[in-house]
Amino acid sequence: MAYSTYFGGSGEEGEGNYCGIAADASGCAYVTSGTFSEDFPTTEGAFQGDYADNGDAFVFKFCKIAPTVATSAATDVTADSATLNMSYTLGEYSAVEVRFAYKKSADSTWSYTSWVTDPGSPYSELISGLDSDTQYDFKAQLRYDSTVIEGDVLQFTTGSAAQTPLLPPPGPRVSPSLTPPSLPATNVRLLNVGVSPGQAQAGQPVTVTANIVNEGASAGSYNAALRINGRVEQQRVVEVSPGTAYPVKFTVAKSQPGKYEVAVENQRASFVVLAANSASKAPASSGLIALVIIGLLVLATAVVLVMAFRKFA
């Protein structure tokens, strides 16, 4: 048995010979008959949503929940290989098969990996023998009951073969004991964490910025985690092309006054949230200074007037 269900209303359905059922290649069942139920269930947008009395005909289509598949970004891309990734669901099916299709973006013919029976989601597979400095298309495929569904088409670009490794020029001056230099496949790191503003009122947004730099020969990803007082509050996964930098930004707001320590990996900074009455302290101090100055001016004026009266007296 593929599946079963209860169906109908409080009256009678399927009287006499007025009943039929058939299934299509994808496993969906089509049922037709008649009903005398005033509460017979219908779907939104049905041709006739309410019972019209004296027996109504109906046609219904039943299907199992189908599997789904999604293509994920390629990882570990080198000059001649890449790891392809996917995720999928089984729906109401007990097992499915999955594989990848890939090709050069400029070509029209796809190549395929072998079908694998339900390897578990997410699923990854390494492909090799690729051309360097070339853009490729790829997509995930899933097969169930002779039906094939596909994920979105994504792209990746292989690295340069000239960069793996960088060999020294030939000649008698090169010592055989020297190790030829090479670039790592990926060398992604985080730099220059900054906080703005350094002092904020309670609830005022504070922006934390950093730069993620890829100094390697191929694209790589970086998971930037923002920690405040040692606790992870936000995360960003960034894909960075070789030889480029990518800015990442976090926005936070704190209501409790105090100093907050910010850390993104090994980069650190801090900001301070002021108490609610901090903003009023400066005006109060300024007012007190103004009163003192006015008092001194009045006192000086009185002294001058007294001395003047004594002189004329």
Can you give the CATH number for the domain in which 263 is found? Answer: 2.60.40.10
Residues 130 and 59 grouped into a single domain? no
Residues 21 and 58 grouped into a single domain? yes
Phi–psi pair at 138, nearest 5 degrees: -155, 160
- DSSP code string of 171-192: STTS-TTSPPP---S--EEEEE
117, part of any domain: yes
Confidence of residue 185 (pLDDT cuts 50, 70, 90): very low
182, part of any domain: no
- Whole-number pLDDT of residue 285: 52
Residues 97 and 149 grouped into a single domain? yes
Structural domain ending residue among the three candidates 33, 64, 95: 64
Q: What does the pLDDT look like over 219-259, one tens digit per residue?
A: 777 777 888 888 888 887 777 777 777 778 888 888 888 89
Structural domain ending residue among the three candidates 44, 64, 84: 64
166, part of any domain: no
Q: What does the pLDDT look like over 71-101, one tens digit per residue?
A: 999 999 998 999 999 999 988 888 899 999 9
Residues 115 and 200 grouped into a single domain? no
Neighbour-count burial for 214-245, b at 16+ CB within 10 Å, e otherwise: bbbbbbbebebebebeeeeeeebebebebeee
Structure-token match 């670009």, residue found: 157
Weakest-pLDDT range from 8-17, 25-34, 90-99, 286-295: 286-295
pTM, whole model, 2 decimals?
0.42
- What domain count does the chain have? 3
Residue 115 belongs to what domain range? Answer: 68-161
228, part of any domain: yes
290, part of any domain: no
